A and B are shown apart, each in its own frame.
Chain A
Amino acid sequence: MRLTRDNQDRLMLVAIWGAAATTIMFLLWVVWHILSNGLAHVTWDFITGAYTRIGEASGIWAMIVSTVYMVLLSLAIAAPIGIMTAIYLTEYAKPGSSVVKMIRFCIESLAGIPSIVYGLFGMTFFVTTLGLGFSILSGSLTLAMLILPVLIRTTEEALLAVPLSYREGGYALGASKIYTIWRLILPSAMPGIVTSVILSTGRVIGESAPVFLTAGMVTQIPESVLESGRTLTVHLYKLTQELFTQYEWDQAYATATVLIVLVLVLNMATKFIASKFNKASH
């Protein structure tokens, strides 16, 4: 059967709309499924309470604190290194030189390694060889390596988007390279850098395997970065390993709900901050 040109167009349009609608439908379905099963069980006690392996205490406060520690520490390690590497690549390195090619190759390879491999490496190197033990610090170092490639790439893109005319204008006034980068180029690239940091935060929150291999699963609030802690995602993983009663199912869904809300809030924060910066610079 031959289709007329008009009918071909219509068919294509239906296919495109269908694909878009399917995407949205799946997203809404997943969110609805989690929220409808979990939201009712997210109580004040659940969020702020303690957790015991056996018994009625099923609060996730320790996991929230561990997650926050993990996010802050891995960003504190990865962000400076990532941003400075990106500055080197865009502002200092000779484009196309063999050093740049090598760094690029490393970054791309690092980005492609499955996260569980990072976990194995972290467990061997940070936990055992360096003797840091199963701790927030070991986990953060591992996650820092994990988010570094994306941080570098996105920061690089933000820096490259800064017009050449700003650099020329800065240098033409006799300003040094460092001053021009620090006071002119970095501030101009800030919305992009902030976005990339927030996206990395999402990644840190989302990982489970490399985290429990390096930070362990202790359900206490860690008193220092050298103590073990269980992040929300690891907690959810652990809960799903032993779903025997309705009560355990409810906990799992409630934890998932908290995670989804957290990620949604982060995404909205990204948009808000980016638009703030855009307004400030125009």
Chain B
Amino acid sequence: MNKLAVNNLNLFYGDNHALKDISLPIPAKQVTALIGPSGCGKSTLLRTLNRMNDLVEGVKITGEVAFEGDDIYRDVDVKQLRMRVGMVFQKPNPFPMSIYENVAFGLKAQGIKDKKVLDAAVEESLRSAALWDEVKDRLDAPGQGLSGGQQQRLCIARTIAMKPEVILMDEPTSALDPIATHKIEDLMDELRKKFTIVIVTHSMNQAKRISDKTAFFWMGELVEHGETTQIFNQPQDQRTQGYVSGEFG
């Protein structure tokens, strides 16, 4: 079953036609990787899925993104959407507050004040993000004092706390060292059991390691998509072939 379906989506930044007639199904409880060279539109597509592009001036979108059948640009409240479709960014962006407050931020924004509810949610989210054991004795310490990899797991915990159905990840390990990257990838292997994950990645090896489905983008077009093994082993298009074999990109 498809959690999200992108149908004939076009996106313009002013006169720049950044996404060209994209149609892509995103199956539930699987990891879908969006790959392609810089500027191919993969991050832009990711940011249409939770309407982060709304924040950018001069963006025009045609076509549809269906979330369980509802058009997210017409039928869904944007704040509700973003709770159900969470996002982890390229550069870890913990807020300038304590670890606890970072995780509780989204819940408090929904008006949840009950200390017990918050305590339980913070612990559960930090456990799910494999960070609990490292921070349980210093929940009051500033989130920005953590290492880069820990910060990114804190951001994942913050996202999980909202109990989303989909987690969007925009090159979540590109700012991290190999060990921290490895930990995040392990974590994603756990998360795929509960969440639908869409990840933008620069690393073809990462896409191969963690994703079920892969979509290859090239200059604003979706060239091809399918099972990750098929995309990497029997690409149908010459451009995909060239990219996955490392000829360019």
Of the candidates A95, A163, A174, the one whose C-beta lies within 8 Å of that of B82 is A174
A36 at the interface (CB under 8 A from B): no
A43 to nearest B CB, angstroms? 47
B136 at the interface (CB under 8 A from A): no
How many pairs of A and B residues are in contact by the CB < 8 Å rule?
75
Of the candidates B83, B86, B108, the one whose C-beta lies within 8 Å of that of A183 is B108
B79 at the interface (CB under 8 A from A): yes
B89 and A282 contact, CB distance less than 8 A: no
In the assembled complex, the Cα of A281 lies from the Cα of B155 at a distance in Å of 17
B32 at the interface (CB under 8 A from A): no
Bitwise interface map of A from 77 to 94 toward B, beta carbon under 8 Å scored 1, else 0: 000000000000000001
Of the candidates A95, A184, A282, the one whose C-beta lies within 8 Å of that of B95 is A184
In the assembled complex, the Cα of A170 lies from the Cα of B101 at a distance in Å of 12
B144 partner residues in chain A, CB cutoff 8 A? 281-282
Which size class do A's interface residues fall under? 20 to 34
B129 to nearest A CB, angstroms? 14
Q: A163-B93, A282-B142 are in contact. Are A168 and B108 (CB under 8 A)?
A: no
B179 at the interface (CB under 8 A from A): no
A169 at the interface (CB under 8 A from B): yes
A7 at the interface (CB under 8 A from B): no
B159 at the interface (CB under 8 A from A): yes
A162 to nearest B CB, angstroms? 9
B162 and A174 contact, CB distance less than 8 A: yes
A179 partner residues in chain B, CB cutoff 8 A? 109
In the assembled complex, the Cα of A188 lies from the Cα of B105 at a distance in Å of 14
A171 and B57 contact, CB distance less than 8 A: no
A172 partner residues in chain B, CB cutoff 8 A? 50, 52, 82, 86-87, 89, 159
Query: How many residues of B are in contact with the other chain, CB < 8 A?
Result: 29
In the assembled complex, the Cα of A191 lies from the Cα of B108 at a distance in Å of 24
List residues 61-92 of chain B with CB under 8 A from any CB of chain A. 79-83, 86-87, 89, 91
B83 partner residues in chain A, CB cutoff 8 A? 173-174
B110 at the interface (CB under 8 A from A): yes
B95 and A169 contact, CB distance less than 8 A: yes
A163 partner residues in chain B, CB cutoff 8 A? 93
A173 and B93 contact, CB distance less than 8 A: no
B202 at the interface (CB under 8 A from A): no
A22 at the interface (CB under 8 A from B): no
Q: A184-B105, A281-B142 are in contact. Are A171 and B93 (CB under 8 A)?
A: no
B96 and A282 contact, CB distance less than 8 A: yes
B79 partner residues in chain A, CB cutoff 8 A? 174-176
Residue picked from A165, A176, A188, most chain B C-beta under 10 Å: A165
* Other A-B pairs, 17, CB within 8 Å; known A174-B109, A281-B96: A163-B93, A166-B93, A168-B52, A168-B93, A169-B89, A172-B50, A172-B82, A172-B87, A173-B82, A174-B79, A174-B81, A174-B83, A176-B109, A183-B108, A187-B96, A281-B97, A282-B142
25 residue pairs of the A-B complex, CB under 8 angstroms, read: A165-B89, A165-B91, A165-B93, A166-B96, A168-B55, A168-B93, A170-B95, A170-B105, A172-B50, A172-B52, A173-B86, A173-B105, A173-B159, A174-B80, A174-B81, A174-B83, A174-B106, A176-B109, A180-B109, A183-B105, A183-B108, A184-B95, A187-B96, A281-B142, A282-B96
What is B's interface to A at a CB cutoff of 8 Å? 50, 52, 55, 57, 79-83, 86-87, 89, 91, 93, 95-97, 105-106, 108-110, 142, 144-145, 155, 158-159, 162
In order of increasing CB-CB distance, the 8 nearest A-B pairs are: A173-B106, A174-B83, A175-B109, A165-B93, A281-B96, A172-B87, A174-B82, A174-B79
